[in-house]
Structure 1
C-alpha cells in the first residue's frame, strides 16, 4: 500500500510525551459523482466512513465492520487499496499527549440500499450520519470550515480534506 501523505497537526509539532499508536481502515464508496461520507454536526464536517481497527483485527474485516456500523452498508466489496495517510496529532485522552494514526483507505462497492446504522454512543451524540454528497460539495464545505477556523473544528478535518482533494484530483486526471 502506498504512503499518500504524512501529516503533522500544527499543535503537535512542539509536543513530546506518551504517544498512542492507532490503525484505522476507511472506505471510499462512490456512485458516479456522489460519495458516501459521514457528516458530523458537532464538527460541521464531512469524513470518510471507517475507524479504528482492534488489535489483531484484519484491516479488511475492520473496514467492513466500520462501514456496516456507521453507514448501514451491506455486502461490502473491497476493490483495491488506495493508500494510507500517517498523521501525528494531539491526543486529549487519558495518559497520552500525542496520537500516531495510520489511516488505510480502500475503494469499495456496496449494495445499493443502506440499512439502519449501529453508531457508537459518542457518534450519535456528535450528530454523525451517513450521506451521499457530491464530492466537490463536500470538499468545498470542509475547505470553508478550515478557512474560517470554526471553533468546533475537529482534529481529523485536515486528513479528511486532504483525502477528498487527492480523490478529486485522481478522478480529474482519469477523466
Structure 2
C-alpha cells in the first residue's frame, strides 16, 4: 500500500535512544457524492475517519470492517480498496514507552447510506463521538478552524485533516 505521509509530532525530536511502541490501525473512507461518513467528537471538536487499532494478528480488512461497524453501524460493506498508509510518531504518555509509532491503513469502501446502531466503547461515548454524513469540504474547514483556534484539539486532527484533504482531491 502506498505511503501517503510520515508525520512526526513536534515533541518527537528524535527516535535515538527512545523506546517505541508500534500500533497498527485502520481508517475507513465511505463517500456518497460530496458527503463522507465521519465521526464527530465533541471533546476534541473534530471530524475523523472511522477506524481504530487492530487486534493482535487481525487481518487489516477484517479489522477495518469491524471498526467501521462498531463505530458507525455501517451495513453492507463492499468494494473495499486500499487508499494508502499514514505513519506518525507521537509522544506516548505511559511509563512503558517514550514514543508511539501509529501506522494507519486506509481503505475506501461502499456502504448503505442508512446506518444501524453503533457499538462504541465507553470512552468514545464519553468523548461525545457520533457518526455523521457530512460534506467533506465542511468537515475540512471545521477541522482547520479547530486546529487554528481551539485548545481542545487532539493529536489526531493533523492526520485526519491531511487525509480528508487528500480524499477531497481524489473525488474532484
Q: How many correspondences in the alignment? A: 171
Aligned to 1:113: 114
Deviations 1:9-46 (A, max 9, x none): 11222575222101111100011000000000000000
Q: What is the root-mean-square deviation of aligned Cα atoms in Å? A: 1.3
> Residue 55 of structure 1: SS of its match in structure 2?
coil
Give the deviation of 1:93 after TM superposition: 2.8
Cross-structure match for 1:44: 45
TM-score by length of 1: 0.93
Contact 1:78 1:106 in 2 (8 A): no
Query: Hey, which bits of structure 1, 4+ residues long, moved more than 6 A?
Result: none
Structure 1: give runs of 5+ residues left out of the alignment: none
CA distance in structure 2 between the partners assigned to 1:92 and 1:160 by the alignment: 21
**SS, match of residue 12 in structure 1:** coil
Give unpaired runs (5+ residues) of structure 2: none
2:131 is aligned to 130
Question: Conserved in 2, the CA contact under 8 Å of 1:53 and 1:59?
Answer: yes
- Per the alignment, residue 90 of structure 1 pairs with 91
Which stretch of structure 1 is more off in the superposition, 77-86 or 66-75?
A: 77-86
Deviation at 1:152, TM superposition (A): 1.1
